[in-house]
Amino acid sequence: MSLKITPQIVLSLSLVGVGMAGVGAVAFADGWDPNSKASNVGSIANTRHNLTLQYNKDAGGAGIVMDFARNDYGEVCVYCHTPHGANKQINAPLWNRTINNVSNYTVYDTPTTIGLEGRLGVPGPNSLTCLSCHDGTIAIDSVLNMPGSGGYGNTEVGTSNLAFLDQWPDNGRPGTSGNHFTLGPELGNGDIGSACALCHSAPNSVIPDFRLFMLGTDLRNDHVIGITFPTTFGPGIDYNEPEISVPGKWAFFDSNGSGFAEKYEVRLYDSGSGPAVECASCHDPHGIPSNGAGTEFIPSFLRISNSTPNDNGIGGPSGLCLTCHAK
Ligand code: HEC
Ligand code: HEC
Ligand code: HEC
Ligand code: HEC
Ligand code: HEC
């Protein structure tokens, strides 16, 4: 078996307290990439989830290089959301992207915790959103509704309709013909001819290495998702009980007792079979301030820091993991 450095391995290592020394490629495991031009302060516009890469262009960088690899829609939100004509195949907020078919994923199949057998499932809506870029099968610019153009016609489920994406009329913003790149196959291994991995896959002082963020469609080496959380707690169940449960919507750890699911609180999404762990249980793709408004976001778009408490005292050493795991 070859050792692949994946979030799952990083997570497992951090849980048992093994240091990361010696795993050179994971130099920025807990912190933003030092090569990043993203300030990660204030808004998603200042993060790597701004696919217009405007911050990168404004900062005098070579962000313009990417204009041949994806349409620059000129707006941050549109790569993921649309006010009209959203994807009807997924229960996610005004979702503007093509999504992958759940049957294309290989999921975790070895539950280790008593009581969780039979609770394995496929990725739910709150994971399919992220996977629509991070599994490397769908073009980064594969939206259903291009801004201002009135254009509809992309597929809702499956691979991108490239001919539709070619119709982006530019509108003063660069478009590309034929080159609608995907992020890249798992860890950048495989055909990267039409993937962001073409450039973003080698140690380089100018081009950030994104290989760790390419999860692929085999999710067995990533933290389990789609699994229904325990609903009984106590002896033999190593999990904490979420304070608030709203059947059919979600359950959440109401750390500050407000009765409201703050963005910096871990949640379990219920898409029909009970509250489940999904990508967005741990991550908020818009970024969460680390210590109150105006402070740098917690690295890796995490909701809770595993090292430093926020201004509400939430987080700290293994804070994210210990929200769910009673260890
Ligand atoms: C031809 C090579 C090339 C390709 C292909 C490419 N990039 Fe880049 N990318 C670069 C370079 C060079 C930089 C650094 C620019 C700078 O520092 O100003 C960069 C920077 C970035 C950044 C900013 C990183 C940061 O934190 O400052 C993001 C995000 C990014 N690229 C996303 C993408 C995406 C998404 C794709 C695929 C649609 C892609 N890139 C394809 C060359 C490329
Ligand atoms: C990279 C993709 C991406 C981008 C870009 C993005 N969002 Fe989101 N957004 C999401 C996802 C995924 C969710 C669902 C989160 C979940 O599963 O709970 C979401 C949820 C939301 C919600 C629902 C409440 C919440 O926070 O969960 C609002 C409102 C929202 N986004 C607004 C915006 C706005 C405004 C912008 C642009 C400034 C934006 N988003 C850009 C991915 C994105
Ligand atoms: C529109 C495509 C898209 C969607 C949707 C998307 N991402 Fe990303 N994400 C990217 C790109 C492009 C990058 C920048 C390249 C990179 O760092 O991998 C990125 C970067 C990241 C990073 C690394 C940030 C860093 O540099 O430390 C994390 C973590 C992440 N995304 C998580 C998520 C999660 C979780 C979701 C869903 C809630 C999500 N993404 C949805 C495209 C997307
Ligand atoms: C149980 C919590 C949890 C879940 C669920 C989860 N992640 Fe993460 N993810 C993390 C943590 C913690 C890190 C930071 C690891 C580190 O410091 O290297 C991370 C890192 C990442 C990264 C950056 C690569 C890295 O290793 O730093 C990406 C991209 C990412 N996650 C995407 C996803 C996507 C997509 C999903 C759903 C398929 C997902 N995550 C589900 C906790 C989670
Ligand atoms: C949202 C709740 C939640 C959070 C947060 C969470 N976990 Fe988990 N974790 C689970 C569930 C549910 C399982 C599935 C248990 C099983 O294997 O039966 C699990 C399984 C695991 C496993 C066993 C995987 C295997 O292959 O058997 C490890 C290791 C793990 N988590 C580590 C972590 C670490 C490290 C963190 C923090 C970065 C974390 N978890 C955060 C809910 C969570």
Are 296 and 310 spatial neighbours (Cβ–Cβ below 8 Å)?
Answer: no
- Does the CB atom of residue 286 touch ligand 2 within 6 A? yes
Query: Ligand 4 pocket, 210 CB below 6 A?
Result: no
Please give the structure tokens belonging to residue 48: 């790597």
> CA-CA distances (angstroms) from residue 186 to 5, 54, 190, 219, 222?
11, 27, 8, 10, 11
Question: Which residue's alpha carbon is at the smallest distance from atom 16 of ligand 4?
Answer: 29
- Please state whether 274 falls in left (phi above 0), alpha (psi between -120 and 50) or beta: left
**pLDDT at position 28:** 40
Q: How many CA atoms lie within 13 A of 317 on its CB side?
A: 4
Q: Is 262 in the pocket of ligand 2 (CB under 6 A)?
A: no
% pLDDT > 90, the chain: 57
Within a 10 A sphere around the Cβ of 234, how many other Cβ atoms?
8
What is residue 222's predicted lDDT score, i.e. its pLDDT? 84
Please name the residue whose Cα sits nearest to atom 12 of ligand 4. 11
Ligand 3 mean position to 235 CA, how many Å? Answer: 38
- pLDDT of 91-116, one tens digit each? 999 999 999 999 999 887 776 665 66
Q: What is the reported pLDDT for 242?
A: 96
| Long-range contacts formed by 321-325: CB under 8 A, 24+ apart | 321/11, 321/14, 321/15, 322/240, 323/240, 323/253, 323/255, 323/266, 324/229, 324/239, 324/240, 324/253, 324/266, 324/277, 325/15, 325/238, 325/239, 325/240
Which residue is closest in CA terms to ligand 5's atom 30? 12
Q: Would you say residue 302 has pLDDT above 90?
A: yes
Q: What is the pLDDT of residues 34-46, one digit of tens each?
A: 778 899 999 999 9
Is there a contact between 36 and 48 (Cβ–Cβ < 8 Å)? yes
Residue nearest atom 25 in ligand 1 by C-alpha distance: 36
Residue type for 64, please? I
**Which atom of ligand 2 lies closest to the CA of 49?**
1
Q: Evaluate if residue 158 carries a pLDDT over 90.
A: yes
- Residue 42: left if φ>0, alpha if ψ -120 to 50, beta else—which one? left
The set of protein residues with a Cβ atom below 6 angstroms from ligand 3 is: 32-33, 48-49, 51, 79-80, 129-130, 132-134, 140, 183, 210, 213, 279-280, 283, 285, 299-301
Q: Which two tokens stand for residue 145?
A: 């509704």
What's the half-sphere exposure (Cβ side, CA atoms, 13 Å) at 34?
A: 6
Tokens of 167: 């119709």
Does the pLDDT at position 18 exceed 80? no
Of ligand 5's atoms, which has the minimum distance to the CA of residue 228? 12
- Residue whose pair of structure tokens reads 């013909």 in the numeric block: 177
Residue pair 275/125 in contact (Cβ under 8 Å)? The answer is no
* Mean of the per-residue pLDDT values of the chain: 84
Residue with tokens 């349409």: 71
Cα–Cα distance for residue pair 181/191, rounded to 1 Å: 12
The tens digit of pLDDT for each residue in 226-245 reads 889 988 888 878 899 999 99
Which whole number is the average pLDDT over 274-278?
A: 94
**Residue of 16, 264, 321 to test ligand 5 pocket, by largest number of atoms within 8 Å of CB:** 321
pLDDT of 115 reads: 64
282, 288, 327, best to mutate for ligand 4 pocket (most atoms within 8 Å of CB): 282
Q: What is the pLDDT of residues 163-213, one digit of tens each?
A: 999 999 877 788 888 899 999 999 989 999 899 999 998 877 778 888 888
Map tokens 């950030």 to a residue.
Answer: 208
Give the C-alpha separation, 4 to 122, whole Å. 23
Query: Is the beta carbon of 187 within 6 A of some atom in ligand 4?
Result: no
**Rounded distance between C-alpha atoms, residue 47 and residue 53, angstroms:** 9
Pocket of ligand 1 (CB under 6 A): 36-38, 48, 53, 56, 61-63, 65-66, 69-70, 140, 181, 196, 198-200, 206-208
Any atom of ligand 4 within 6 Å of the Cβ of 183: no
In angstroms, rounded to a whole number, what is the distance separating the alpha carbons of residues 219 and 257? 34
Q: Which residues line ligand 5 (CB under 6 A)?
A: 11-12, 14-15, 111-113, 116, 223-224, 227, 229, 266, 268, 277, 281-282, 306, 320-321, 323-325
What separation in Å is there between the alpha carbon of 135 and the centre of ligand 2?
18
Integer Cα distance of 48 and 38 in angstroms: 6
pLDDT at 149: 61
